[in-house]
Structure 1
């Protein structure tokens, strides 16, 4: 909102407001906070827990942080409309043909694929930075559809905490063990400069194989979903040995985080179906890097 009442009941426009003053909404008389960005000033309601940033503002503030990071680029456009594909990326570097999306709302894989492929058809690279509903200090299954790859970072995902003004790069993401536990390394950049992020060259620590011990065997016995049961039955019919006996004391090496089925199923003949990860190039998925 662009205006609010001060403590004297006088209507004050955001552009003339002072941060130290207290204001209330003109309609509901509830407290509002003055928000100041590089490009504008406005009021917003305080949320129930009085956080500095509510859900609606997370995306706006995050874009401002990214724009500030790119301030030395002359070709930066905000909400630039691309008529050929009817898409409007959050930020677009026109000279380099790079679209940057700050994704805060949950997004279905079909929509992600459509948007990424739309960019790719016109030679536009898209970079997706996660926040809002995706913000976390861990990597979970819901994040994997946004995974990218580079020789320097391995498989990676970038997140931005708008409240803390902190970027987190989750890099060298792998699946480890028989059940595809997600392993990652991470680096947090608090109010960093672009050069700090671009020059980040982490060491890739070598991961040891994981032994299929009795703890994992017990977990495997508890797997009673339809697909697991089918794999178990097919394997026994073909080899006259249970998957538990076959996999006992077997070592599982780390694998790329691109597979739909867990490693134990693939070790027992299940096909190597790939996750839908449109930001990965086909050649990367076809032959994952070591």
Structure 2
């Protein structure tokens, strides 16, 4: 499909992704749209560029030192760290955008934590591509609930196009992070865990027994303090602090 840009040279992009196709098609279409959008903004971008003596192949490389990885298939933490290390070694910043398999839902999974990144502008953020809708979703200022890995964040969606990519790069959110947590809901969650004697509930009960305290003795911040994405549970932090005294 020929795309006429008002500011740049005309360029071609592939026609729309067919909903219901597999991860390979999702991956390919996402790369094509991303590369075309970058080129339309006047950047020198190319797909499938071999790097690091053929040890890496960047999905989309923006010359000279920016690479985009579009991850639609499963990826182990070990493989992620290996590829990230190689990018660092050759002085290229790697930006990861995930497909539907890795989209954030209510709870942050261990397999998703590797794609979380931090920047001064967006705070903790996560980038998701939707090839069928031809969009990129930025989830930013990400936090977790005090007692469970439920996600609290802001989000903004951009079209995977010349204008959308330009808006994404220029996006500057309000730096003030205002997150309200229902502390009573958190307390009720802990009470249920204790009553149902779940694995988590038993661990909490054992720790409270060792400290000779009840749930009423727990400080309020355990139930109302939102956590950074890689910060431990507030109640575990409290127990560890008390144990080390």
Both structures adopt the same fold (TM-score exceeding 0.5): yes
More helix by share: 2
Q: Is the 8 A contact 1:98 1:125 kept in 2?
A: yes
1:187 to 144, 150, 156: 156
CA RMSD, 1 decimal:
2.9
Which sits farther off after the overlay, 199-208 or 212-221?
Answer: 212-221
Residue 236 of structure 1: SS of its match in structure 2?
A: helix
Q: Bigger radius of gyration, 1 or 2? A: 1
Task: Give, in whole Å, the separation in 1 of the partners of 2:69 and 2:157.
Answer: 19
Measure how far apart 1:110 and its partner are: 1.0
1:162 to 131, 142, 156: 131
Q: What residue in structure 1 maps to residue 142 of structure 2?
A: 173
2:92 to 115, 124, 148: 124
Q: Is the 8 A contact 1:212 1:247 kept in 2?
A: no
> Structure 2 unaligned runs (5+)?
1-10
Q: What residue in structure 2 maps to residue 267 of structure 1?
A: 238
Measure how far apart 1:169 and its partner are: 0.2
Q: What residue in structure 2 maps to residue 258 of structure 1?
A: 230
Tell which has more relative contact order, 1 or 2 (C-alpha 8 A, sep 6+). Answer: 2
Q: What residue in structure 2 maps to residue 224 of structure 1?
A: 198
Deviations 1:117-148 (A, max 9, x none): 11112221100001142245656323222001
> Structure 1 unaligned runs (5+)?
1-36, 45-49, 272-290
CA spacing shift, 1:130–1:40, aligned 2, 3 Å: closer
Residue 255 of structure 1: SS of its match in structure 2?
A: coil
Q: What residue in structure 2 maps to residue 60 of structure 1?
A: 28
CA spacing shift, 1:105–1:189, aligned 2, 3 Å: same
Task: Give, in whole Å, the separation in 1 of the partners of 2:218 and 2:33.
Answer: 49
Q: Is the 8 A contact 1:81 1:88 kept in 2?
A: yes
Q: What residue in structure 2 maps to residue 11 of structure 1?
A: none
- 1:143 lines up with 2:117 in the alignment: no
Which sits farther off after the overlay, 157-166 or 170-179?
Answer: 170-179
Measure how far apart 1:223 and its partner are: 5.2
- 1:215 lines up with 2:188 in the alignment: yes
Task: Give, in whole Å, the separation in 2 of the partners of 1:158 and 1:103.
Answer: 10
Task: Give, in whole Å, the separation in 2 of the partners of 1:94 and 1:248.
Answer: 52
Q: What residue in structure 1 maps to residue 60 of structure 2?
A: 91
Q: Is the 8 A contact 1:165 1:190 kept in 2?
A: yes
TM-score, with normalisation over the residues of structure 1?
0.67
Task: Give, in whole Å, the separation in 1 of the partners of 2:132 and 2:77.
Answer: 27
2:79 to 95, 111, 128: 111
Q: What residue in structure 2 maps to residue 69 of structure 1?
A: 37
